[in-house]
Amino acid sequence: MKSLTKIITATGIAGILLTTAIVIADDDRYEKNERHEKGYLGKFFSKKLDVAPVKNALYKEECGSCHFAYQPGLLPARSWTKMMGDLENHFDENAELDKDVQTKLTQYLVKNAADHANYKRSRRIMNSLSKTDSPLRITETPYFIRKHNEIPKRMVKDNPKLGSFSKCAACHTYAEKGSYDDDAVNIPGIGRWDDD
């Protein structure tokens, strides 16, 4: 019994040391989160989540200041590269960044883009695009349009409390966590969405 406790303790300590070593070895704290997410935990979560949630603090700060921080897994890498190459003219807004920040964010986006992510919605979005399509809007991908075409205009564009489909988190209550389950939709000023 005692020796069993010893073995467990020893294994535990070894585990902690190993984890510490990995953490120390990795000096990029943003990268670390992503790798963690995509590793053993990623496999488990990908069954439940629609897209990988955003864990990158720099991305949240820079791409979440004007709107919801869209998950990289919602567009292909070629879309992100195109978008990041013209941030000065970003949907009629100026979103320009310092070169170093821009480079870091592009790398993060490309690495976690829909064509590089093993998540259900990412795969479906990719399947809905032809090989050369590089849409800049998630809301203009065929998959998105198909999934939202039953929602009447009065609830979105003509809804003074909403105004557009681009505000994912206004309707999808768990959007921030990477879940877009149609059972967890609550449209502002309208209420819960019932499919049946």
Partner 1 sequence: MIRKLGITVVLFSASTVIFADAISDMFTQYKAQGVTSIDAKAGQAMWSKEFKNQKTGKMRSCTNCHGNDLTQAGKHVKTGKEIKPMAPSAYNKRLTDVKKIKKWFKRNCKWTVGRECSAQEQADILSYLQKL
User: Is 102 within 8 Å of 50 (Cβ atoms)?
Assistant: no
User: Is 76 within 8 Å of 113 (Cβ atoms)?
Assistant: yes
Among 77, 170, 178, 179, binds ligand HEC (CB under 6 A): 170
Token pair of 40 as six digits: 């053993």
Minimum distance of partner 1 from residue 47's CB (angstroms): 31
Among 16, 145, 164, 192, binds ligand HEC (CB under 6 A): 164
Strand boundaries in 19-81, DSSP class E:
none
Q: Considering CB distances under 5 to 8 angstroms, the limit depending on partner class, which of partner 1, ligand HEC, none binds residue 184?
A: none
44 is an interface residue for ligand HEC by CB under 6 A: no
Q: Considering CB distances under 5 to 8 angstroms, the limit depending on partner class, which of ligand HEC, partner 1, none binds residue 174?
A: none
Strand boundaries in 93-190, DSSP class E:
186-187
Give the rounded distance of the alpha carbon of 28 from its chain centre.
19
Q: Looking at 6-14, 19-27, 39-47, 62-70, which segment touches partner 1 (CB under 8 A)?
A: 62-70
67 is an interface residue for partner 1 by CB under 8 A: yes
Q: What is the rounded CA–CA span in Å between residue 111 and residue 58? A: 15
